[in-house]
């Protein structure tokens, strides 16, 4: 059987701990035997980031910018404990944060659905994808404790202009204050990334804030989304998708009765909350993928979960693990399908779809890792090890060729 050739190199970003173990199994058993591809490999394992003073992370981000599509393994974001554990020079910043800031991208989380795992919300039949704005608001807020009576004002001192003052509150007793901000440029990039994703996945786009109450701050988000979607109207029509603005509370209520199949764009705080609502509503972390989309149309695919540290320690002790590799496999298939789409190579896209089908067929046949067993109806009699699951997928893949 001849291998399917990828025209353009794929950027591969390796990572840490249990996901690094899974990563090499996926590559060895599900990718390399079937595809003829050039991988631009970057090792973002914590030791290599430390050795290169984190230059490797920047290089990986630039490679995604240059080649357009990357696939990334989960990585450790070191804290003080990890600095000791891995003898690091320092607690390097989050690689995902660094890559996101270089690509100016937005992260979209998408659940993988199978027929024998019912979401907690019965109406959900298709994925609900959350697009969370990753800049500003609460996360760049400044806060003040007011401990006695006094006036709090917002003061704006424009360069070369007259100062503007706005009374926040005339405090008669103790209280609290917060100042938040956002940037037109960042909101626009966010809107563009959401539009790129919605068009790429052919999913309706929803955006919601509370502009009836916040007539300037939230209203600005709504205006930017209205302008950016209007500018791409022809592409929305061609893709057969729509854009809807809803008030946040209306959107939250509608989501609970909706069959799904849409992208819900949200500001930073609402996105934080609702991505966890949606993720737990759909089932397991091991079944959640994540894609970073830049406003210019570059894509980085990964699993939404971390490095599954506890399982890795079991693995190091020589114990058998049962770690779910589905989200990591779908990171590969997402990247491969996107590469096929951008290169105009339908056989490459088809391979990605076939591999996804093999994974879903295994799960629907009751071949699953331990995390899925309690979620399944009917319950499978036993679970598979990390490697047994990947082997079962590989067997189906070989038969499907
Ligand atoms: P985690 O990797 O998300 O895992 C937390 C727990 O969730 C696991 O112990 C396991 O529960 C369950 N779980 C997650 N993924 C699973 C899978 N694929 N299969 C089966 N169970 C799964 O979080 P963590 O172990 O607390 O974090 C480890 C490291 O990941 C941290 O250093 C953090 O910085 C990093 N992280 C990286 C990313 C990223 O690169 N995108 C994202 C988040 C975290 P049980 O133990 O109960 O089986
Ligand atoms: Mg959160």
Q: Decide whether any atom of ligand 1 lies within 6 Å of the 74 Cβ.
A: yes
Compute the distance from residue 310 Cα to the ligand 1 centre, in Å: 8
- Which of 35, 121, 105, 36 has its CA nearest to residue 72? 105
- Neighbour count for residue 52 (Cβ, 10 Å): 15
Q: Distances in Å between the alpha carbon of 70 and those of 60, 63, 112?
A: 9, 8, 20
Cα separation, 241 vs 233, in Å, equals 10
Contact 64, 58 (CB under 8 A): no
The DSSP secondary-structure symbol of 117 reads B
- What are the residue boundaries of the structural domains of the chain, listed by start? 1-117+283-401, 118-126+182-282, 142-179
- Which of 39, 43, 107 has its CA nearest to residue 275? 107
Token reading at 4: 């399917």
pLDDT of residue 324: 97
Q: Decide whether any atom of ligand 1 lies within 6 Å of the 75 Cβ.
A: yes
Per-residue pLDDT of the chain (401 residues; tens, 9 = 90+): 689 999 999 999 999 999 999 999 999 999 999 999 999 999 999 999 999 999 999 999 999 999 999 999 999 999 999 999 999 999 999 999 899 888 888 889 999 999 999 888 989 999 999 999 988 898 889 999 999 999 999 999 999 999 999 999 999 999 999 999 999 999 999 999 999 999 999 999 999 999 999 999 999 999 999 999 999 999 999 999 999 999 999 999 999 999 999 999 999 999 988 988 888 888 888 899 999 999 888 999 999 999 999 999 999 999 999 999 999 999 999 999 999 999 999 999 999 999 999 999 999 999 999 999 999 988 999 999 999 999 999 999 999 96
Q: Distances in Å between the alpha carbon of 326 and those of 170, 190, 330, 337, 340?
A: 55, 28, 6, 16, 21
Contact 205, 198 (CB under 8 A): yes
- Neighbour count for residue 192 (Cβ, 10 Å): 22
Compute the distance from residue 96 Cα to the ligand 2 centre, in Å: 15
Angle between helices 386-400 and 346-364 (to 10 degrees): 130
Q: Decide whether any atom of ligand 1 lies within 6 Å of the 45 Cβ.
A: no
What CATH architecture does domain 1-117+283-401 belong to? 3-Layer(aba) Sandwich (3.40)
Q: Decide whether any atom of ligand 1 lies within 6 Å of the 313 Cβ.
A: no
Per-residue HEC secondary structure of 36-93 comes to ECCEEEEECCHHHHHHCCCHHHHHHHHHHHHHCEEEECCCCCCCHHHHHHCCCCCCCC
Angle between helices 326-343 and 17-26 (to 10 degrees): 50
Q: Decide whether any atom of ligand 1 lies within 6 Å of the 284 Cβ.
A: no
To test the pocket of ligand 1, the residue of 285, 302, 313 to mutate (highest count of ligand atoms within 8 Å of its CB) is 285
Q: Decide whether any atom of ligand 1 lies within 6 Å of the 321 Cβ.
A: no
Which helix (H) or strand (E) segment is 18 a member of? helix 17-26
Compute the distance from residue 308 Cα to the ligand 1 centre, in Å: 4
Q: Whose CA is nearest to atom 10 of ligand 1?
A: 308
Tell me which residues have their CB within 5 A of the ion that is ligand 2.
272
- Neighbour count for residue 79 (Cβ, 10 Å): 10
pLDDT of residue 1: 62
Q: Decide whether any atom of ligand 1 lies within 6 Å of the 220 Cβ.
A: no
- Which of 208, 207, 198 has its CA nearest to residue 241? 198
Q: Whose CA is nearest to atom 45 of ligand 1?
A: 310
For the full predicted model, state whether its pTM sits above 0.85: yes
Task: Considering every ligand atom shown, identify the ligand nearest to the alpha carbon of residue 279 and give its number.
Answer: 2
pLDDT of residue 104: 82
Q: Decide whether any atom of ligand 1 lies within 6 Å of the 324 Cβ.
A: yes
Angle between helices 95-103 and 55-67 (to 10 degrees): 40
Q: Decide whether any atom of ligand 1 lies within 6 Å of the 322 Cβ.
A: no
Compute the distance from residue 128 Cα to the ligand 2 centre, in Å: 17
Write the CB contacts of 146 (distance below 8 Å, at least 6 apart in sequence).
Answer: 152, 171, 174, 175, 176, 177
- Which atom of ligand 1 is found nearest the CA of 19? 18
Q: Decide whether any atom of ligand 1 lies within 6 Å of the 3 Cβ.
A: no
Q: Where are the alpha helices (DSSP H) in 202-325?
A: 217-231, 233-239, 248-255, 268-282, 309-316
Cα separation, 258 vs 125, in Å, equals 9
Token reading at 346: 């339908």
- Which of 266, 288, 291, 117 has its CA nearest to residue 205? 266
- Which atom of ligand 1 is found nearest the CA of 309? 25
pLDDT of residue 39: 98
Compute the distance from residue 85 Cα to the ligand 1 centre, in Å: 17
The 3-state DSSP composition of the chain as helix, strand, coil percent (nearest 5) reads 45, 20, 35
Rg for the chain (alpha carbons), in Å? 23
Token reading at 348: 């490459």
């Amino acid at each position: 059987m001849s291998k399917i050739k990828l025209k353009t190199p794929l950027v591969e970003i390796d990572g840490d701990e249990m996901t690094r173990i899974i990563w090499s199994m996926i590559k060895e058993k599900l990718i390399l035997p079937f595809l003829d591809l050039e991988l631009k490999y970057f090792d973002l394992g914590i030791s290599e980031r430390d050795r290169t003073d984190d230059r490797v992370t920047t290089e990986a981000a630039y490679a995604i910018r240059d080649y357009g599509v990357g696939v990334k393994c989960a990585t450790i974001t070191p804290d003080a404990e990890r600095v000791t554990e891995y003898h690091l020079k320092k607690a390097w910043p989050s690689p995902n944060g660094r890559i996101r800031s270089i690509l100016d991208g937005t992260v979209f989380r998408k659940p993988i659905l199978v027929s024998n795992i019912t979401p907690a919300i019965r109406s959900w039949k298709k994925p609900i994808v959350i697009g969370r704005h990753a800049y500003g608001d609460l996360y760049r807020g400044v806060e003040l404790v007011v401990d006695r009576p006094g006036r709090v004002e917002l003061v704006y001192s424009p360069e070369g202009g007259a100062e503007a003052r706005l009374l926040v509150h005339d405090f008669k007793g103790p209280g609290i204050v917060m100042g938040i901000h956002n940037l037109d440029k960042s909101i626009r990039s966010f809107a563009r990334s959401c539009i790129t994703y919605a068009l790429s996945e052919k999913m309706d786009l929803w955006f919601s804030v509370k502009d009836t109450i916040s007539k300037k701050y939230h209203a600005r988000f709504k205006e930017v989304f209205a302008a950016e979607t209007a500018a791409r109207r022809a592409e929305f029509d061609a893709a057969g998708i729509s854009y809807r603005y809803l008030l946040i509370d209306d959107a939250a209520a509608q989501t609970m009765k909706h069959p799904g199949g849409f992208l819900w764009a949200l500001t930073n705080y609402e996105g934080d909350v609702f991505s966890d609502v949606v993720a737990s509503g759909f089932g397991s972390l091991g079944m959640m993928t994540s894609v970073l989309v830049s406003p210019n149309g570059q894509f980085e695919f990964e699993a939404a979960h971390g490095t599954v540290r506890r399982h890795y320690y079991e693995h190091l002790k020589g114990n058998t693990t049962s770690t779910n590799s589905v989200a990591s496999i779908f990171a590969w298939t997402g990247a491969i399908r996107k590469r096929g789409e951008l290169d105009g190579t339908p056989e490459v896209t088809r391979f990605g779809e076939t591999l996804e089908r093999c994974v879903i067929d295994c799960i629907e046949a009751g071949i699953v890792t331990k995390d899925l067993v309690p979620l399944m109806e009917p319950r499978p009699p036993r679970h598979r090890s990390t490697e047994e699951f990947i082997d079962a997928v590989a067997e189906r893949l070989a038969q499907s060729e």
